[in-house]
Structure 1
Amino acid sequence: MSRLASLVRRVSRFGRLVSVGGRTVLSLDTNPVPADWTHITKVDPEREKKLPLAYPLYLSHTGAVSVGGSQDVTDHNTEETFEVVNAAEVSAFHEPSAADHVTERTRDAADFMAVPEVLNGDSEALVGKLGRGIDHVREELAPAYIDEKLPLPLGEGLGDRLSAFAAAWMMEEAVFEAYIIMNLDSAAAREANVTEADLLEPEAAKHRAMAAETHLDSEVVYLEYSGTFGGDEAVDILEAVDEGVSWSRVWYGGGLDNREDARAVLDAGADAVVVGNVFHQIAEEEGRLYEAAREEFATTPDRDAVRDFVEREVDVEETHAASYLSTITAVPDPEGRAARYLTAGVHTALQLRDVADGLDDPDAAAIRDAITETPPGASVLADAVGDADGLARRLGTALLAERAGVEDADGLPASHIGLTL
């Protein structure tokens, strides 16, 4: 071994010693995943999974957004999803289900990339997909990045070494999620080949979590029930996992749609709850209310009249909006906020309809001019984002351009919003 190699090895071992000592002896929280994230919203780029028009209001209460899905996801609709989410000024990270969903744009848009490792599936779920992902980063993403940053001929040897370095650095920056999948009737279980024999008792789950934290350096241990609430079984597993780990964040996902269940898993030891399906269902709810309101009102009434309409049309306490907000335990009066946010979405859409009705075969410039001064929805979005006028203008431009059948680069991707004017 050369002197340089020996020196690098000693420096590497010392760095590892400092890291482990800081985490254990000094109890320093060096985990890059923020500890104050107690609620995470999963947003699926799939075109069938829409966002409500008032999505920034809802997301203003979540800790972060996880962008990723398993069906009909592409690099393009993932980039679009990040564009929409980032406009809401909320932290967002990327949880790709395939290596080619990771692009330079998604890397720039995401706080970090989260790489899944299934602890109770087959070896393919633990390391096979990871290996393909590293290969994609090294052979495609890293060389493209180097070509962009260093547009000079480097030679095959140096170029290969720099690509290997860039790939290693990108993976070093990634966060690793160690999954324990406990719902056999789920896409996650099928993809990871989790069978009845792979389901874990609390003590076994604790041991897997300890191995993930100590050996795999997994920043997150994720108990996943995929759309079904785990109940007492999940509580028992979370209590055991929480006892076993100290540095890794413990997350729970699956079937959460009320405050009681969210509090139960948080009290059991979860650092954060992950909620997905019920958030997308708000978009369907908001869209149905808008369709009914456009029949009810020839022109847009004041907001109080729209709220009265919403409360006549639905039992707010039973809405998906109220269910989603109730899973965020820090949000007071989720039913009251649900009524406000549903009203905001419907009222804004009605205002945009009125603008659209006043335009005659507009082009992109005419659409922008129509909402430049007072973009609909800006006043309510001010509660959620700093540049409320800018976001309201981009949302309005997107929906008006979609209705008129014109393209406008200033608007957000309208296909991800769950209503049509």
Structure 2
Amino acid sequence: MPGLADIVQTVDSLGAAISIGGRTLLSLDTNPVPARWDHITKVDPEEEKQLPLAYPLYLSHTSAVSVGGSRDVTEQNTAETFDILDGLDVPAFHEPSEATHVTEEIRDRAEFMAVPEVLNGDSESLVGTLGKGVEHVKEDVAPGLIAEKLPLPLGSTIEGRLSDFAASWMLHEAVFEAYIIMNVDSAAAREANVTAEDLLTPREAKQHAMAAETHLESEVIYLEYSGTFGGEEAVDILEEVTDGVSWSRVWYGGGLDNRENAQSVLDAGADAVIVGNVFHDVAEEEADLAAQAAEQLDSDAGRDDIREWVEDTVDVVETSAARYLSTIVDVPDYEDRAARYLAAGIEMYLQLQALASGVTDADAATLRSTVANNPVPGESVFADVLDQDVATDVAESITLALLAEYFDVDLADSIAAHHVAAEL
């Protein structure tokens, strides 16, 4: 009679056969990363990488948001970023840059946890970093989760086994991103020790991608040029990689700030393009324009007047707003939309200033009363892309946070205003 270990091994083998057969013989799409995602915006929790005031408008067009960054990222500012994204009709996943950023709270809030694996770096970037992450999940996150969920102690042996199970399950649920880094001057290359000798030819990239899909079962193959556009080289690599893999999603990131380049990598086979820097550039641009508008326009200026002012002040097609929206290839007339969104952000800023000017002796109760009894800046424009109730909640959240920061009021449950570029 087979023992329990034999039965488990048989079931495990059968499960693997069903999974592999479904993917290869039946061509079933079992990848947990949605195939419909074709544009992903990277939002960096680092305080210098801020969001525009009208961020719900811009993010309404992206397929998903990736939360993570390369430096100055902490557990706290990661949680703050998820706070800001709450309520938006866009899925957000967590891409931790350090093991300690993985927490039960963030795991519950994120669509999934995306674990980077660098295919052409040193062994530390592939094995060592992952090992540190596994250690953190197994020895820190999982035991805390088990202790929180258990109604009473069950003993160290059973609790240890439950922790092992919880850690294994969390990692089983994770999505693994197999990176091919092709810009040696980038922070990602420095962290993974990718040098000029590690750069891959299109054929080598295909082979690495096939190994990642077949052996590592990486859900994503990520071609990363980090801040510079890969051009024809990237197109050649993408064509080879997409020819070699069938189940893994293929993503491209690096230097995308116009429609032509975004379309070229999608045409080459990328399932999704990743955009980060140009989105954060919108925040600085919007803040600068809002400061100018506050000096040149009346506080009650209408949206049409503000838009006319925007078009007289800047060449809209050259703005970061237009460049960001141009990378979302199914957004029509992105220049017109950029002008509208910049005007909306400025209108919201002017309304916030007017609201703040009417507040005296500010405290938490006063600020909440002020917002409850006045039209909420941003509510009407957010309702164009969000349900009315959600638009109200998001607009109130932003308004209260910025007012609290301006008056130095400690407001419980407020989002962290320093992540938004506008300063009253």
Normalised to the residue count of structure 1, the TM-score between the two structures is 0.99
Alignment of 1:416 with 2:419, yes or no, is yes
SS of the residue 2:86 aligns to: helix
Looking at structure 2, the residues matched to 155 and 411 of structure 1 have their Cα atoms a distance apart, in angstroms, of 40
Aligned partner of 1:99 in structure 2 is 99
Q: CA deviation at 1:297?
A: 2.7
The Cα shift of 1:399 comes to 0.6
> Which residues of 2 match residues 29-44 of structure 1 at below 5 A?
29-44=29-44
2:293 is the counterpart of 1:293 = yes
Is the contact made by 1:41 and 1:275 (CA closer than 8 Å) also made in structure 2?
Answer: yes
Does residue 199 of structure 1 match 2:199?
A: yes
CA–CA distance in structure 2, aligned partners of residues 411 and 307 of structure 1: 30
Q: Distance in 1 between the 2:415 and 2:313 partners?
A: 29
Match of 1:177 in 2: 177
Give the whole-Å Cα distance in 2 for the aligned partners of 1:353 and 1:150: 50
The residue type paired with residue 54 of structure 2 is: A
Is 1:379–2:380 an aligned residue pair?
yes
Q: Is contact 1:317-1:335 (8 Å) kept? A: yes
Q: Which amino acid aligns with 1:397?
A: L
Deviations 1:367-407 (A, max 9, x none): 11112142111110012222111111111001111111102
After superposition, give the CA deviation of every residue in 1:323-374 in whole Å (9 maximum; x if it has no partner).
Answer: 0000000000010000010111110110010010000121111111112142
Shift of 1:196: 1.1
Q: Which runs of 5 or more residues in structure 1 are unaligned?
A: none
**After alignment, is 148-157 or 111-120 more displaced?**
148-157
Structure 1 residue runs of 4 or more that deviate by more than 6 Å after TM superposition: none
Amino acid paired to 1:406: V
Offset, 1:48:
0.3
Q: What is the CA distance between 1:294 and its match in structure 2? A: 1.0
Paired residue type of 2:93: F
What is the CA–CA distance in structure 2 between the aligned matches of 1:136 and 1:259, rounded to whole Å? 41
Q: Deviations over 1:55-97 (max 9, x none)?
A: 0100000000000001100000000001111232310000000
Partner of 2:21 in structure 1?
Answer: 21
Looking at structure 2, the residues matched to 361 and 276 of structure 1 have their Cα atoms a distance apart, in angstroms, of 40
Aligned letter for 1:89? D
Instruction: List per-residue Cα deviations over 1:98-144 (Å, max 9, x = no partner).
Output: 01011122111100000000000001111111110010001110011
CA drift of 1:151 comes to 3.7
Could you tell me how far apart the structure 2 residues matched to 1:70 and 1:2 are? 50
Q: In the alignment, does 2:276 pair up with 1:273?
A: no
Counterpart residue number, 1:349: 349
> Match of 1:132?
132
Displacement of 1:298 after TM fit?
4.3
Separation in 1 of the partners of 2:162 and 2:237? 43
Structure 1 vs Structure 2: percent identity of aligned residues? 64
Q: Secondary structure at the match of 1:371?
A: helix
The SS at the match of 1:359 is: coil
Alignment correspondent of 1:231? 231
Q: Distance in 2 between matches of 1:84 and 1:66?
A: 13
Structure 2: how far apart are the matches of 1:99 and 1:293?
Answer: 43
Structure 2 CA distance for aligned equivalents of residues 343 and 299 of structure 1: 13
Distance in 1 separating the partners of 2:299 and 2:196: 57
**Unmatched 5+ stretches in structure 2:** none
Aligned length: 421
Q: Contact 1:364–1:406 (CA<8 Å) still a contact in 2?
A: yes
Which string of whole-angstrom CA distances, capped at 9 and with x for unpartnered residues, describes residues 240-295 of structure 1?
A: 00000000000000000000000000000100000000000000000001110111
Letter in 1 for 2:288: R
Residues 303-314 of structure 1 mapped to structure 2, 5 A cutoff: 303-314=303-314
In structure 2, distance between residues paired with 1:414 and 1:262 = 32
Pair 1:396 & 2:387 matched: no
Name the CA distance, whole Å, in 2 between partners of 1:221 and 1:71: 23
The CA distance in 1 between the partners of 2:2 and 2:193, in whole Å, is 45
Distance in 1 separating the partners of 2:113 and 2:244: 25
1:327 maps to what in 2? Answer: 327
How many angstroms does 1:410 deviate by? 4.3
**Partner Cα distance (2:140, 2:328) in 1:** 39
Q: Deviations over 1:180-205 (max 9, x none)?
A: 00000001101111111110000000
Q: Distance in 1 between matches of 2:404 and 2:18?
A: 55
Aligned residue type for 2:398: L
Task: Using the TM superposition, give the Cα deviation of residue 308 of structure 1 relative to its aligned residue in structure 2, in angstroms.
Answer: 1.3
- Where 2:362 maps in the other structure, the secondary structure is coil
- Compute the displacement of 1:2 (Å): 6.5
Letter in structure 1 aligned against 2:407: A
Q: 3-state SS of the aligned residue for 2:216? A: coil
Q: Distance in 2 between matches of 1:154 and 1:300?
A: 64
